[in-house]
Amino acid sequence: MGLIVQKFGGTSVGSAEKIRNVAKRVIQEKERGNEVVVVVSAMGKTTDELVKLAGEVTTNPSKREIDMLLTTGEQVTISLLTMALQHLGHDAVSFTGWQAGIQTEGVHGNARILDIDSARVLAEIEKGKVVVVAGFQGVSESGEITTLGRGGSDTTAVALAAALKADKCDIYTDVTGVFTTDPRCVKNARKLDCISYDEMLELANLGAGVLHPRAVEFAKNYQIPLEVRSSMEMESGTIIEEEANMEDNLVVRGIAFENQITRVAVLGLPQSLTSLPTIFMKLAENHINVDIIIQSNTNENTTDLSFSIKTQDLNSTLAVLEENKDQLHFDTVKHESELAKVSIVGSGMVSNPGVAAQMFEALSQEEISIKMVSTSEIKVSTVIDEKNMVKAVETLHDTFELAGRPVKS
């Protein structure tokens, strides 16, 4: 007998019928002889509807009260799923995040899990019950209800799996696994049988929406095998684990992309040791994530700095720079929006030189201009015009033969 943590996202529990189907999937796992803990999201678009409702009441709701509001969505799901399980003859109990012992930072809207006191969940498992836990939420040390931000239910599931020393964590979603790229964008994208934690973490950080980066980090740190699989179809999904066997000559494993990128250029910065640390410290204090960074010296005394951000953070970024202009002593700030980031990922790049050149050549032949570049051992990211994003993804998918052969590990 093993312990399996299952996570079902919002589309998987979007109606009473779907919740009944989820209950049947849970029971199937239980009847295989495994103990089961289930983590669920709010039904369908519930979270979006609650945010909209808050906006109809006030244009500036407090983050604390938003958390109080949004956590009700998952509470609806856990109670309904537990009722469905009980109706089908299986003993089950539902817990909110704080009842399940999920302790977080005292940050509203994007808290990180600090610890999980799993005693109450384990006690119910020992009684033979299915435990249904609300994803996306926890409680701070001071007793404040918090939410974990985008993808928080994935993080809840993997963190619980780690705390409970589960044998596996299954992430059920509306796709059948992890694909070479988004199949909604590239029709001949292929499902991967297996992918490494590091590759999945890069893809998640670079825009692949199938898993949240924090969830992958938890899985890697605690060596929890993950499987991304369909909540509707009875087929195996994609296993995410420490080492994924490489298909022969498959250097690039996947392509990630995201739009609404803006490039910000800070021109005429003094060449001092404090300029760069100050800029990025001020941006970090305002919770602005900076991605690709390029510095170029213009003369002996000044330097130009370019970096990419999400377009939604542009106004905040410009405000932070303006507020600190007297301290930073730059000449001017320019920005360019309507950009996208397209990235190739694969652990095979480490031992195969020339992958970046192949990528750049392919984009050049399609007359796609590259504005920024960032690399690591297993990825190459480029910033291009947003209008060319889909064309670039299709081009690179063909260039690296991700659709021309069965992609499996």
Q: Do 266 and 383 share a domain, yes or no?
A: yes
Residue 405 has pLDDT above 90, yes or no: no
User: What type of residue sits at position 282?
Assistant: K
Q: Give the C-alpha separation, 113 to 104, whole Å.
A: 4
Residue 42: is its pLDDT beyond 80? yes
Res. 403 pLDDT band, cuts 50 70 90: confident
Rg of the chain in Å (alpha carbons): 23
What average pLDDT score do residues 245-258 get? 78
Q: Domain check: are 237 and 251 in the same one?
A: no
- Say which amino acid occupies 184: R
Residues 161 and 279 in one domain: no
Mean pLDDT of 340-363: 92
Domain closes at, from 224, 241, 258: 241
* Residue 134: HSE in the Cβ half-sphere, 13 Å Cα cutoff: 30
Query: Does the pLDDT at position 304 exceed 60?
Result: yes
Task: Evaluate if residue 289 carries a pLDDT over 60.
Answer: yes
Question: Which residue range forms the structural domain that includes residue 346?
Answer: 246-403
Residue 223 has pLDDT above 90, yes or no: yes
Q: Is residue 236 part of a domain?
A: yes
Task: Look up residue 346 and give its two tokens.
Answer: 């694969």
Same domain assignment for residues 119 and 139: yes
39 and 183 part of one domain: yes
Which of 245, 236, 241 minimizes the C-alpha distance to 177? 236
Question: 210 falls in which pLDDT band (50, 70, 90)?
Answer: confident
Give me 135's structure tokens: 């994803």
Q: What is the mean pLDDT of residues 222-241?
A: 92
Distance CA 51, CA 55 (A): 6
- The pLDDT value given to residue 250: 72
Confidence at residue 243, expressed as pLDDT on a 0 to 100 scale? 74
> Last residue of a domain, which of 241, 271, 304?
241
Tell me the pLDDT band of 407, cut-offs 50, 70 and 90.
very low
Q: How high does pLDDT run on average in the chain?
A: 93
Mean local confidence (pLDDT), 328-342 = 96
Do both 217 and 312 map to the same domain? no
In a domain, 334, yes or no: yes
Q: How many domains would you assign to the chain?
A: 2
Q: Which two tokens stand for residue 336?
A: 């360019």
In the chain, the percentage of residues whose pLDDT exceeds 90 is 83
Closest CA relative to residue 219, chosen from 209, 228, 230, 208: 228
List the single range of 37-51, 116-130, 151-165, 393-407 with lowest mean pLDDT.
Answer: 393-407
**Among the three residues 182, 214, 241, which one is the final residue of a domain in this structure?**
241
pLDDT beyond 90 at 195: yes
- The predicted structure's pLDDT at residue 246: 54
Residues 6+ apart with CB under 8 A from 206: 256, 257, 258, 341, 343, 345, 379, 381
Residue 123 one-letter amino acid: A
Q: Transcribe 53-73 into DSSP letters.
A: HHHHH-SS--HHHHHHHHHHH
pLDDT in the model for residue 247: 52
251 and 232 co-located in one domain: no
Taking residues 389-400, report their average pLDDT.
96
409 is a domain residue: no
The CATH number given to whatever domain includes residue 395 is: 3.30.2130.10
CATH number of the domain where residue 54 is located = 3.40.1160.10
The token pair at 275 is 């300029």
Sign of CA dihedral 73, 74, 75, 80: positive
